Structure 1
Amino acid sequence: MYTLIREVNSRNIEVIKIKDHHSNRMIALNSQVSPQKEIEKFIEQLRSNKCYFIIGSGNGTLLQYLIDLKLKSKIYILEPFKEIDFDNELKGELKKNNIYFFHEENLNYLQITGAIRSSTGMEFEILFHPNYDKLSKNILNPIIQKIKMGTTTASINKNTEKFFRFDWLIEPILNLSLSKNGKSLLEIKENFLGKPFILVASGPSLVDNLDFIKKNQDKAYILASGSAVNGLLNNGIIPDFVTIIDASLVNFTAHFENTKYSGPIITTGTANHLILKHHKGELYFTNFELDTITAEVRPDFLKVSTVSSVAIYSLLLTHYLGASEVFLVGQDLALKDGKYYANGVHEHQASKNLGDIVEVEGNIGGKVSTNLNLASMLENFNNAVSVIQEVNNQIKIYNLSKSGAKIKDVPFKDKNDIMLAETIDKSWIPTNVSKKEIDYTLSLEYYKKIIDSKKEVDDISRKIKKINSKAVTFKDLEKLLKLIKKLRQNAMIETHILNMIYSSTKSINNMFEFGFEGNFQTNEERVEMLKKLLDFVEIVQNYLEELIQHNNWPEIFKRR
């Protein structure tokens, strides 16, 4: 606890003081003699082409200095005290200069993750506004923890992007035979308007709520997220729909290769093609923001934001489909007796490697244990719920898990207190079973575009390597930039390939925006530009080579 005091002293300086009840200390957050000199000394350490997280803003002197500095960096001001705020006009001026102001209470660590991601290629540093480092840990820890979690999540996301950088392109291409002429989810949207949904995930509490699902099977749509389908089938429950977005082969082998489910699937082009190819039931497609292939051939599909899990994808669908109520079952986002999945759900090896354990707020109070992956997913859930509630005040979302983590603004509801009276007509849900006919003609056309793009990049690389790497003239620089422009005019590369190597592409974009101050007047700057752009071209080159040779392509592609 603290008390914030504003004073104007005898020197006519506004001084903000914090009375810290924990340490019983009084701390001035800005100089009582010369705030200007204090800030002038502080900003001497700032450099261009960096990402700064500055904790605290004091009486605001820093903000105007940062605007006037015109620094070519990204700066995030994280203010612990909600009482210290500034008008929207000043915040707008800050944003124009890549300076962003956040209050700790409104800050979630996904915003930190986003800041780090958008600053790829730039060093980042944490600084304290003068005197803020004197504050006690209980005041500073919430911000420090959010920065730590944001940094960890950014690292996890980067590794995820690296792991799936081929799957997220190959699977949509292999699914073109099904998606190009496939059914849009929007075709059946009217059937869901104003109806309740039971959204089933694979968490440990699923087994505690099987009776609730059985009791209300005729009164709500049962939507199983990915692997949850087996948890239901193994307990005698057939869901109305199953959602799938995961591109990995393990998603097929662990959860769907031997599944007995033959009902309709709601999916995206990124789903592993073996799942869709071997599924005998109906398929309904949506677009997924990161999947540029499916969106190119079927721009009419419902566009769903890229999210980190199939459970969040399912939640967004209930919003788009006009659900009245959503009951989350098995959505624990926490461990129960050290378990990740409910009994009856097919496990894979990764789910057994839990990693570091952390504690978060429980759905019915107290603390529950989770791991970093689930904690990150929890924050993504919080974000998704917030986005939904901003635009949809009709939908009511409840979480039935007694042992799960607390999702922000999603109340716990005891299954015994839920009374769904009206029976839903589900006779329209397709039950037809048929073998999928796969035609790779269009997929092979895209594969040829990849091969042609590789040839073009090889040619660009050869021409760049002819430039003297120790003495780069302005004429060389002009030639270099024309070659890079040519690379980015290749539609396959610009629209689809660079999307899969986001970190490298963003690093180059940031280099152009923030990295050079001397307008390439020195040979040193021109040499550095040559090196970085050649490195970038080689990353594209290597990606295309690995993509062409990837094992996921069926044999018919390898014979091309």
Structure 2
Amino acid sequence: MDYFEVNMDCMRQRRNELYKKLVNFMNQNMNSKTLEVVSEPSKYDEHYMIVKKDDLLTRLNSCYSPKNEAMKWVEQFSFTNINIIIAMFGFGTGSIPREVIRQKNKTDMLFIYEPSIEIFTHVLYNFDISDIINDNSVVLTIEGVNEFEFRNLLKLYTNITNIYSQIRCTHPYYQDLFPESAINFWKEIKDNYIHARMNINTEQYFGERFITNALFNTRYLKDSNRLLDLKDIIDTEVPAIIVAAGPSLKNNIEELRRAKGKAYIFVVDRILDYVLEAGIEPDFIVTVDPIKPIEYFTTRTDVTTPLLCEMSSNWEVLNQHKGKKIFFSCNPYFQMMYLSQKKNPPILNTGASVATTAFASCVKLGFNKIVLVGQDLAYDGEMTHAGGIAEKSSKQKEVYVEGLDGKKVRSRLDWYEFLIWFQDMIILHPEIQVIDTKIKGAKIQGAIQMTLKDVVNKFGTKNVNINNELNNIKGTFSKEDMEGIRKFFSDTYDELRNLKKKAEEAILLCEEQIRIYKNNYCDNHLTEKNYKKISKINQYISEQPAYHLLETFITAETAQEISEMYQFSDDRINDIISTYEKSKKIFQAIIDGTEFLRPEFDKMMPYI
């Protein structure tokens, strides 16, 4: 077998989706070339590569020893931390990525963004890269083939434990050869950091509130439904209209009134009163925020429109609302609760806003057409929301994005994050027709521009009345299920006592470890014995359902310690002492969390 056969066979077995996309791309674009690539034997070891672009020749590797060059190049980076995210622009011949793989830790992830299909194709034919293709710690993306996976998987793997342990680098000469692609690469890196930072800030800020909301909201479980319970009563051929709170909503109120009964209308909580005052009764309200000011929901006390919500949505909103609660998502602890009664738990990738949550809900329900109304994602003068609201936010940085007319429009960093999310979802779901009805504001790439009037005229051909169907749908849990749920919560109450005891034992062991290492500055049989005891405690704690309820509390209390847990220096003993110091604070957060939770359970149990 030649290099190409070996590489492609390996890719077919280990990266089948990339293999299929690559074969499809190569079959359709064999004659489309923007540069020339050749390989020449180096003086001492493997071949090097020369690229000709715009009549300029660029040698990507040493003509003497590409292996030795790769070793020296990689020396500029330190791999002392654990779970490092390495983002690299350019694959080259594979010699540099191979050296990165050799020097990094097993738990580190290497994300490679190759901007040139011509270079990568040449490499497939002329170099054996099966070892890299076969490596599960490598994410391989090629522009024009599967570059979306670079963004998607980078987001998936970046979290509080490694956000500060990242290496970003470019293969020699790649930025000069592919400047536009390099700009996109660095933009993806920046956007990923913003996304991860926002997620971490959310957990830090809302840690306790996530828990108190979810426990309070358990009182609605008896009469509640899951989002997936609606799938059998929704006609997905009828459009779903998502009404957000952007200033452009005022231009669509009359057409929205006409759409009632011809489409399913999902209204975000912020704009509910505005829509109700216009005489429009939505089919669903959507809420997600754990601390949603009640005045941003409704001041009415008679709202019975079905509410799509998360278990951790603001308890005050759910308390104000008088109708059916439909849960679209919950944290791992409540997922275990559903599973304890043999029910599939509600799980949803909600994005970062109530509008993205409404969109994700419509995708989950299987709608073929999703219509966006009031999804401006940009200022209208100084206006931020419909109803003449000019909300001032000192926390949000202003940015400029592409508008519908191709010119830049003023937006905010959080809106930009939502914009990216919508565009990603459109890429992920090409089967769904996404229609944007605004006439100005931020351009959502991939969405079809169409007025709401035209949408109603073209697609509003059926009459729907969800209320009739919802009145007949059974709740998720039976009376017997609720008895089982009560037992699940009672068991959690007992687990909290045990978690506290185990965390106290772990703190004493950590303190002993710190004393030994400070005095002896080395390992001994006692440190090994204590390490095994702490590991056993960690395993016990992580296996308890109650721990998954405590997680957001622990993250909020010890975010700094968790983010630094896998960062190390060249001084091994000091690193060990520092790790045990951080561990003490995390175990103390577990103790504090159990003491916080038990009175919350006392308040909750009478309502189950």
Give the AA of the match of 1:338. Answer: E
Quote how far apart the aligned CAs of 1:239 are: 0.8
Change (3 A) 1:511 1:555: closer
For the Cα contact (< 8 Å) 2:247–2:387, is it kept in 1? yes
Where does residue 11 of structure 2 map in the other structure?
A: none
Alignment map for 1:232-311 (pairs within 5 Å):
232-248=275-291, 250-258=292-300, 261-288=303-330, 290-293=331-334, 295-297=336-338, 299-311=343-355
**Separation (CA, whole Å) in 2 of partners of 1:405 and 1:386:** 17
- Aligned partners of 2:568 and 2:575 also within 8 Å: no
Q: Is the Cα–Cα contact under 8 Å of residues 493 and 598 in structure 2 kept in the other structure? A: no
Over 3 Å counting, the alpha-carbon distance change for 1:244 and 1:91 in structure 2 is farther
Say if 1:116 and 1:213 are closer, same or farther in 2 by CA, change over 3 A: same
Cα distance between partner residues in 2 of 1:477 and 1:528: 16
Counterpart position of 1:529:
576
1:182-240 C-alpha deviation (Å, 9 max, x unpaired)? 23334433221332211111122211211221111120111112213223123222211
Aligned counterpart in structure 1 of residue 159 of structure 2, from 92, 117, 123? 117
Counterparts of residues 19-98 of structure 1 (less than 5 Å): 19=53, 26-48=57-79, 49=81, 50-69=84-103, 71-72=105-106, 73-85=108-120, 90=129, 93-94=132-133, 96=135, 98=137
The 8 Å contact of residues 307 and 313 in structure 1, kept in 2 or not, is answered as yes
What is the CA-CA distance between 1:168 and the residue it aligns to? 2.0
The structure-2 alpha-carbon separation of the partners of 1:322 and 1:344, relative to structure 1 and needing over 3 Å to count, comes to farther
1:454 aligns with 2:489: no
Structure 2 partner of 1:396? 433
Query: 1:151 Cα shift?
Result: 1.9
What is the identity, as a one-letter code, of the residue corresponding to 2:294? F
Query: What is the letter of the counterpart of residue 235 of structure 1?
Result: A
CA shift digits 1:84-107 (9 cap, x unpaired): 326699578456352322335624
Distance 1:486 1:259 in 2: 49
Deviation by residue 1:469-508 (Cα, 9 ceiling, x = unmatched): 4134243233233224224313145433236546979987
Alpha-carbon distance in 2 for matches of 1:324, 1:236: 27
The whole-number CA distance in structure 1 between the counterparts of 2:48 and 2:553 is 50
Is the CA contact (8 Å cut-off) linking 1:226 and 1:243 kept in structure 2? yes
Find the residue that maps to 1:76 and give its secondary structure: strand
Alignment of 1:215-230 (within 5 A): 215-230=258-273
Give TM-score, length-normalised by structure 2. 0.76
Alignment-derived partner of residue 415 in structure 1: 452
| Structure-2 separation of matches of 1:411 and 1:552 | 51
Give 1:64 deviation, angstroms. Answer: 3.3
Structure-1 residue corresponding to 2:393: 352
Could you tell which deviates more after superposition, 235-244 or 225-234? 225-234
Distance 1:104 1:481, change over 3 A: farther
- Deviation sequence 1:261-320 (CA, Å, 0-9, x none): 3311122211111221232112222333x3522552464343223532222221122222
In 2, distance between residues paired with 1:256 and 1:447?
Answer: 35
> Within the alignment, does 1:378 sit opposite 2:419 as a pair?
yes
Task: Give the SS at the match of 1:456.
Answer: helix
Structure 1's unaligned 5+ residue stretches are 433-438, 518-523
Return the alpha-carbon distance in structure 1 between the equivalents of residues 450 and 383 of structure 2: 23
Local SS of the residue matching 1:423: coil
CA gap 1:505/1:497 in 2 versus in 1, 3 angstroms: farther
Does the CA contact (< 8 Å) of 1:119 and 1:507 recur in 2? no
Task: Note if 1:327 corresponds to 2:371.
Answer: yes
- Identical counterparts, % of pairs: 22
Q: Find the aligned partners of 2:62 and 2:324 in 1 and give their Cα distance.
A: 68
Q: Provide the C-alpha distance between the structure 2 equivalents of 1:322 and 1:52, rounded to a whole number of angstroms.
A: 36
CA distance 1:377–1:388, change in 2 (3 Å): same
TM-score (structure 1 length as normaliser): 0.82
| 3-state SS, counterpart of residue 35 of structure 2 | strand
Deviation at 1:425, TM superposition (A): 3.4
Counterpart AA for 2:579: K
Instruction: Please state how far the C-alpha of 1:111 moved relative to its aligned partner.
Output: 4.5
Q: Which residue of 1 aligns with 2:10?
A: none
| AA partner of residue 271 (structure 1) | S
Looking at structure 2, the residues matched to 245 and 9 of structure 1 have their Cα atoms a distance apart, in angstroms, of: 59
Alpha-carbon distance in structure 1 between the residues aligned to 2:260 and 2:136: 54
In the alignment, residue 64 of structure 1 is paired with which amino acid? R
Deviation at 1:242, TM superposition (A): 0.5
Q: Does 1:477 align with 2:549?
A: no
Tell me if structure 2 keeps the 8 A contact 1:198–1:328.
yes
Distance 1:294 1:36 in 2: 50
Answer yes or no: is the 8 Å Cα contact 2:328–2:361 preserved in 1: no
Q: Is the contact between residue 362 and residue 370 of structure 2 (CA under 8 Å) also seen in structure 1?
A: yes
For 1:68 and 1:506, locate their aligned partners in 2 and report how far apart those are by CA, in whole Å. Answer: 30
- Look up the equivalent residue of 1:153 and give its one-letter code: H
Structure 2 residue aligned with 1:343: 387
Distance in 1 (alpha carbons) for counterparts of 2:395 and 2:324: 35
Q: How many residues align?
A: 533
Report the Cα offset of residue 241 of structure 1.
0.9
Report the residue type matching 1:55 in the other structure. Answer: F
Distance 1:138 1:183 in 2: 49
Q: Which moved more, 1:474-483 or 1:194-203?
A: 474-483
Unaligned runs of 5+ in 2: 1-32, 473-482
Which moved further from structure 2: 334-343 or 323-332? 334-343
Q: Establish whether residue 102 from structure 1 lines up as the match of residue 141 from structure 2.
A: yes
Which residue is 2:550 aligned to? Answer: 497
Contact 1:201 1:330 in 2 (8 A): yes
Q: How big is the shift at 1:329?
A: 0.7
Structure 2 residue identity aligned to 1:355: Q
> Which residue matches 1:213?
256
CA distance in 1, matches of 2:243, 2:37: 51
- Structure 2 CA distance, aligned partners of 1:260 and 1:353? 34
Residue 56 of structure 1 aligns with an amino acid whose one-letter code is: G
Distance 1:359 1:27, change over 3 A: farther
Contact 1:193 1:324 in 2 (8 A): no
Post-superposition offset of 1:375: 0.9
* In structure 2, distance between residues paired with 1:496 and 1:461: 21
- Equivalent residue of 1:117, what SS? coil
Higher helix share: 2
Partner of 1:435: none
CA distance in 2, matches of 1:454, 1:527: 28
